[in-house]
Amino acid sequence: MADEPPPAKRQRQSSPTEDTTPSRSHIWKPFGDIVLQAEATQFRVNRDVLATQSPVFADMFSVPQPPGEPLVDGCPLVLLSGDTTKGWELLLGFLYGNPFEVEECLPFDVIAAMLRLGRKYGICTAEASAIRRIHWEFPTTLKTWSAHARFKKIQKADGMLFDLLNLVHEFGINTTIPALALACLHDQTLEKILNGVPRFDGSRVTLAPNIARSLIIGFQRVLAFQNKTYAWLDNDDVIPAGSCKQRSKCTKGRHALRGWLAWDEARDMPYFFGLIHWDPAWWDDVGICDA
């Protein structure tokens, strides 16, 4: 029948008897006039919505459909090769909700779908919004970095930093890499950089080999820079001062502060202080006098 859903484009060989009829997504608009299929899931939507956002779809819809092409519920069927069901569910949810400028903090999966499908189909609003959110979280200047807290535009989750670092490398969003790479160094050990980390759903994310190699090189260079920056804390001529009345206590406090700036005991890893500001309260925390 012309209005019956067609079989999935790619049959699953592992289970020949399994029903491969495409399923309908919850995104099934009653007045939709086009059906999209990603993997084995179909979406009934409005071609005007797609054509307004995407020049790729606008060009596609401007060409008359050849006779005899498959229909689903009387609507032309478009197979989206290489796309995922999840990606289109996320993107269509946004297209129908005017969501690209919302202030809501979005999961990484949504950001990735906006970027991947936005670039593939020329949906500039989706791609640009994803890039803006990434730059907001990991900016290019210290002033911007210090102006707001992290993870207000992209939800933090287990493995998210590695996923995001892989993504920005893939799409060439190079200006955000330094801050994002430093965040990875601050959060993860060398072992995790090499072997990956678990996501919240139990799957595992690993860095691309070239990215992991760059992080390991950066790991050593940042540590060397930190050691050079705070070398004065190893100098007995600096602390205790000549007028100090508690020389033994201040010496002990200096060693304590130096150790704190070098090693994160709670996570048993080097401490990457990176872009934090010096806090004068640290003197009091370790018992160093005003002299």
Contact 165, 184 (CB under 8 A): yes
Tokens of 243: 């007028």
Q: What is the mean pLDDT of residues 174-187?
A: 93
Element housing 79 (H / E): strand 75-79
pLDDT of residue 251: 94
**Structural domain count, the chain:** 3
Q: What is the mean pLDDT of residues 197-204?
A: 94
Q: Which of 165, 166, 22 is nearest to 88 (CA)?
A: 22
Rounded to whole angstroms, how far apart are CA atoms 205 and 161? 10
* 76 shares a domain with 197: no
Report whether pLDDT(126) > 60. Answer: yes
Per residue in 84-120, pLDDT (tens digit) is: 999 999 999 888 875 555 567 889 999 999 999 999 9
3 within a domain of the structure (yes/no): yes
290 within a domain of the structure (yes/no): no
Per residue in 47-81, pLDDT (tens digit) is: 999 999 999 999 999 998 888 888 999 999 999 99
Report whether pLDDT(268) > 80. Answer: no
CA atoms within 13 A on the CB side of 45: 24
Q: Domain limits at 8? A: 1-97
* 203 shares a domain with 108: yes
Per residue in 225-242, pLDDT (tens digit) is: 888 988 999 988 899 998
pLDDT of residue 98: 53
pLDDT of residue 274: 66
Rounded to whole angstroms, how far apart are CA atoms 127 and 110? 11
* 1 shares a domain with 91: yes
Backbone φ and ψ for 178, nearest 5 degrees, come out as: -55, -50
The pTM score is 0.81
Choosing from 229, 245, 262, the residue where a domain stops is 229
pLDDT greater at residue 216 or residue 261: 216
* For the chain, percent of residues with pLDDT exceeding 70: 90
Amino acid at 219: F
* 184 shares a domain with 125: yes
pLDDT of residue 15: 37
Backbone φ and ψ for 112, nearest 5 degrees, come out as: -65, -40
pLDDT greater at residue 207 or residue 187: 207
Amino acid at 90: L
- Please report which confidence band the pLDDT of residue 19 belongs to, taking 50, 70 and 90 as the band edges: low
- Please report which confidence band the pLDDT of residue 223 belongs to, taking 50, 70 and 90 as the band edges: confident
Q: Which residues contact 73 (CB under 8 A, 6 or more apart)?
A: 3, 35, 44
Report whether pLDDT(8) > 50. Answer: no
pLDDT of residue 99: 52
Report whether pLDDT(213) > 90. Answer: yes
Count of C-beta atoms within a 10 Å radius of residue 80: 19
* 260 shares a domain with 210: no
